[in-house]
Amino acid sequence: NDAATIGVVSRAPAEGLQRLGRAGRIVVADGGSTDQTVQRAQEAAGSTSPVTAIEYARPAVDVLRAPYHGLEGRPAAIRAILREALSGGAAACVFLDGKLTSASGAWVAHLLDPVVAGSHDYVSPYYARHVFEGALTRSVVYPVFRALYGVRLRQPATGEFACSPQFAQHAMDQPFWDLGEAQTAIDLWLASAA
């Protein structure tokens, strides 16, 4: 149910692919939307990049658990898109959240280019944030990631990233997808796997 924002999200990859002179396909993971999200994505992307919708099963909500404020079923959606990218022989795969309103063609091209060039298997954005935003990530998560892995991955828990087919296959082979923790930690786990 992201009809209000999906237009921006659909145009960005289409423009990014044009900037790189590459062809591609936009895949919308649809968990049963009822507000014409898929149709609006198709309209916004135009004829430059075809839009395909794939359905994924959203998990049942457990009323006895504390409420989760993210997207229910995000691991299933990511898994479905990775499966689609691998079966389609994609050279790279970019993930954008359906509620993202700041995506642009240049932004997507910057995510895609290192993966398509073969120099990186995982690319994460570096957000320009207000000094008081992201304090936990900036002061705890980033330093731990840098100490553990020796990489300067500023936003390891981001929902937007690009990956190679090799990384997609590696991620698909892991048992994490079916664990209970996947629901709340999928983005951080993917960065750790990278």
In this structure, how many other beta carbons lie within 10 angstroms of the beta carbon of residue 14? 21
pLDDT digits (tens, 9 = 90+) for 68-112: 545 678 899 999 999 999 999 999 999 999 888 888 999 999 999
Q: What is the pTM of this model?
A: 0.88
Residue 62 burial (CB count, 10 A): 9
What is the bridge-based pairing of β-strands 26-30 and 51-55? parallel
With 60 as the cut, is the pLDDT of residue 35 above it?
yes
Backbone φ, ψ for residue 51 (5° rounding):
-110, 130
- Is the Cα torsion angle 134, 123, 54, 50 positive or negative in sign? positive
Q: Which of 194, 118, 190 is nearest to 159 (CA)?
A: 190
